[in-house]
Structure 1
C-alpha cells in the first residue's frame, strides 16, 4: 500500500500514529530486560559498488543483501573520509572538528588519541548492557587508559592500530627508512599470540559467536564488531584471503580484485553466521543489527590500496567526494515496523549514538546538548520524515578543504591530497569489471535469508528484492545530459544537486550563487567550533615494538616487555 508521501508500507490512522510516536520517543522505562540487543558491524574501506544491493553483480554478498533488503537500506548515510575520524564521530556523537580529529588517521607509535569524555559503550553500560568490542580500535593506545577496556568496553578482542596482517597479525610501519614490525592482536589487552594463523575475519566472527552463545540474556548485549576487512594489509601482501575463497571467484580476471572480492565474501559469511547464531540463541527478535563502512574504498592510493570500487561515485577514501564519504549502510531488526525499503533521507555517523540510545530506552537528554548526532529511531521504525536536513561533512584547516550537505545541495571547498584522486575509479582504473548475473536465489537461500523467513511475519519475495535493488542503485548522468565539470583542486567552489546528480558531474555553483553564499556562511559558523587538530607526534623511539616483546604496546606508562595492564 502507498501512503500519502508515496512510501510503501501500512497505512496509518494519523491520530493513532501520533500517539505511537510519542510513546516511542518517551520510552517505556529503562529496564535492561526490555532493551534490545545491539550488534554494530563496521566494514573497513568497503566500496559502494562492492555489495549486491547497490547493483554489483561481480562480488556475491547474499547475507548482506538479505539483511539490507529486509531492513532499511540507508542510501544517504555519510561518514568521515578516513578511519579514526569516523570512529571518533561514532563513539562521541560529535563532528570530528569538535574533537581535533578532523585530519588524518592515527599512526602506529603516535601519541594522539581520542580525547577524554564519555563514549558510546559507557552510555550503554549505564543502561545495563554488556559491552564488547571485537576487532579494530584505531583511537589511540599510547597509555593504557586510552585503550578499549578503559573507555567503556567490558571486553576487547582485536588490534589497536589501523590495520594488521590477516593471518600472522604483524603490523609494519616504516619511519625514516626503517621498518618496525609488531604483533597486534589482543584479548583484553594481553597479546594473543596463539591466534596467529587464524584468518582475521573468521577469528573475529568466531569470537563474536562465542560472545552471543555465552551471553546472559537477562542483560542486553552491545556488540561492536569492527572488522579488519577489507582494509589492505602490509606492503608486499596488501590483500589476503583463504585460497578456497579466492578460487570461487575465477570470473574476476584481475588477481588483486579477485582476492579483494574473496575478502568481501568472507565478510558476508560473517554476517550470515552472526544472524544464525542470534536466532539459535533466541535473541534475534529483540536485536538491532547495523552495518556500515567507515569510509569509501581505497581503489587507488599512495599506499594501502585495496582494489575496491566506489564506482559510479566520484573519488575514493580520503576525499570529500561521494566515493570517499557516502557509506554502504543498512539497519535490520524485527523491531522495525516499516522495513523493506530504501531510505534516501540524510543520515550521519554521529546519529547512531542518540538513535540507538533511544532504541535502548535511554533518555537522549543524558547525552548532553553538545552532541551533533540526531535521534532517527522513530523515523526508522515508522518511516517518518528524517529530522536531519544538513550535515557538516568535514572542515580540515590544514588542507584547507571542507564540505557540507544542506537538503539536496552539497558544497565542496578546496581539495584533498592536491586533487590527485578527484576522478572516477573502479571500472575506470581496473578496466571493465567482469560481471556475472545477479543471483537473487542465493540471497533468498542464504543463511540470513533463511533465518529472516523464519522470524518475519511478512518476509520479502525475490521479486521485491530486485525492486529494492533497482531503487538503491545510483547512476551517472546520461551521456547526452548537460554537464559542467568542477575540480576544486583548481580553486573552484563546487555545488551539486546530489539527489539528481549523485556522481557529482554537473557543477551548479554559477547558477545558484545565493545557495553557495548561504552554505559558505554555514561553514564559517561551523568553523567557530573547530578544535585545532591534535599534534601528530610519532614517538617511535619509545614505542618501538622491539621494546615490548615485538608487540605494538602502550608505552608512555610502560618501560619494558613485562609491562602489564593496570588493575
Structure 2
C-alpha cells in the first residue's frame, strides 16, 4: 500500500528487516518517500555495524542507510538518539499542507551484535542503581532512552503545530528474550514464554493510542487486536476505503479504538511453523498450542531477576513530569492534565499461585495445550483433557488455517551478500 492517491507523504526511520536482497524490496522502492535506518534485524548501537559468523569467520559491515545511500557519518552516535534526532528534524521540515505518516521503528531495546548485545548510555543506566544485575541495568537504560525518544517526537509534533490532528500509536513488536543467544534480558513476567515461542509472553505486546481524534479517550481496553489490523486502520483513517485493498487478514479497528465498539476480530494466528513443527491460534477466549519451539527451552515463566524497585515509586509523578506531558500541557494550555492515577497497576496481570505456583508441567510431555485466556492469561492450566469439544473445534480451525499456508523459503546464506563485496556495507546484492 503506497497510498499516492490519498496524497500522504510516507516517511520511515527504522529497522526494516523486510527483505533487501534486491533494491526493489527496500523502503523507498516499496512506497516510502524517505528512509533512514538499517536493513537487517540488529546492529551495534554506536558503530552501526552488523556482525555475522559464517563457517567460524566473523563477517562485518555497515548497515545504515539514508535512502539507498550508505550513511557513513553517524559513527559513534547512539542509535536511539540518532533515529530520534532524524525524526525530529524530519518533523520540523515537513510540508504541513500534506497529510503525513511517520513509521519510527526504533532499534531499542533490541539486542545488538552477539559480542556486545546490550548497550546503553551512562546517564540512562544511572537512574536504576537498585536493579543490581548488570545486564538488566543496561536493558533498563535502553528502555529509558526509548522513553525519552517518544517524548522528543511528541514535543516536536507539538512545536510544529501538528499534535491537534495527530494519531500516535506506540506498540512493542514482541516479547523479550531473557537468556540465550542475542538475549536482551527482557522479562515477560508473569506471562509464559519468550520471543519466538507460541506463548503469550512472546506476543502479548504493550501498546497505547493517543489522539484528540479519539471519541472515547482515557480508558484501558482489553479488546482483541492483531498487528495485521494496523494497515487497514491507518488506511481508513487517511481517507481510503478498505474495500479498495487486496483481501487482507486485518480489520479497520478505528471504531474499536476510538469509540470502544466491539472488536471485529475473534481469531488470531500466532504462528504455524513447519520448521520448528509447532502452531498456535486463538479463537475468542480459547487458545490452542500444538508442539513447542526450540525444544521447549522457552516454555516456562521467567521471574524478574535483580533487586526490587523502590517501594511506592512515584510513577504517576514521573508521568506528569515527562517530556510528553510538557508537550501536552502546551497543547491544552493547562498545567494539570488530570492523569488517571494508577493506570500502570490497572493494566498489570496477575496469576493465582494455585494455578501457576508449580511449574513442573511446563517440562511435561504434553504436546497439545488448551487455555482459557480470560481466566488464565499466564497459560498455567492446560484444559486439553477436560474440554474435548472445545479442543476438537479449535483443532478444526487450526487445520483450516494450516491449509492456507505456503512452504517457507529459507535459502542458504549467500556469500555474495557479504560486505567485502559491497564496499564494506550490507547492501542489496542481486540485480
Normalised by the size of structure 1, how large is the TM-score?
0.73
> Following the alignment from structure 1 to structure 2, what is the Cα–Cα distance between the partners of residues 485 and 338?
44
- Structure 2 unaligned blocks of 5 or more: none
Measure how far apart 1:472 and its partner are. Answer: 0.7
1:423 aligns with 2:300: yes
Measure how far apart 1:435 and its partner are. Answer: 4.3
1:544 aligns with 2:422: no
Match of 2:190 in 1: 312
Aligned with 2:120 (options 233, 236, 241):
241
- Mean alpha-carbon deviation: is it higher for 174-183 or for 470-479? 470-479
Match of 1:107 in 2: none
1:527 aligns with 2:405: no
Q: How does 1:167-566 map to 2 (within 5 A)?
A: 167-301=46-180, 303-368=181-246, 370-427=247-304, 430-431=305-306, 433-439=308-314, 440-456=316-332, 461-462=338-339, 464-466=340-342, 468-479=343-354, 486-487=361-362, 490-539=365-414, 541-557=415-431
> Following the alignment from structure 1 to structure 2, what is the Cα–Cα distance between the partners of residues 379 and 282?
27
Per-residue CA deviation, residues 174-217 of structure 1 (Å, 9 max, x unaligned), is: 01101000011110111111111111000100000011110111
Per-residue CA deviation, residues 492-518 of structure 1 (Å, 9 max, x unaligned), is: 311111121111111112221111100
Normalised by the size of structure 2, how large is the TM-score?
0.95
8 Å contact from structure 2 (residues 279, 289) kept in 1: yes
8 Å contact from structure 2 (residues 132, 306) kept in 1: no
> Following the alignment from structure 1 to structure 2, what is the Cα–Cα distance between the partners of residues 335 and 435?
37
- Mean alpha-carbon deviation: is it higher for 237-246 or for 225-234? 237-246
Corresponding residue SS for 1:208: helix
8 Å contact from structure 1 (residues 310, 323) kept in 2: yes
Question: How many residue pairs align between the two structures?
Answer: 429
> What RMSD, in angstroms, separates the aligned Cα atoms of the two structures?
1.9
Measure how far apart 1:248 and its partner are. Answer: 2.3
Corresponding residue SS for 1:455: helix
> Following the alignment from structure 1 to structure 2, what is the Cα–Cα distance between the partners of residues 180 and 483?
45
Corresponding residue SS for 1:343: coil
Measure how far apart 1:152 and its partner are. Answer: 0.9
Per-residue CA deviation, residues 293-331 of structure 1 (Å, 9 max, x unaligned), is: 111101112x11011111111111110101101111111
8 Å contact from structure 1 (residues 173, 179) kept in 2: yes
Greater RCO (CA < 8 Å, at least 6 residues apart): 1
8 Å contact from structure 1 (residues 297, 324) kept in 2: yes
Q: How does 1:30-69 map to 2 (within 5 A)?
A: none
> Following the alignment from structure 2 to structure 1, what is the Cα–Cα distance between the partners of residues 139 and 295?
27
- Mean alpha-carbon deviation: is it higher for 453-462 or for 159-168? 453-462
- Structure 1 unaligned blocks of 5 or more: 1-118, 558-567
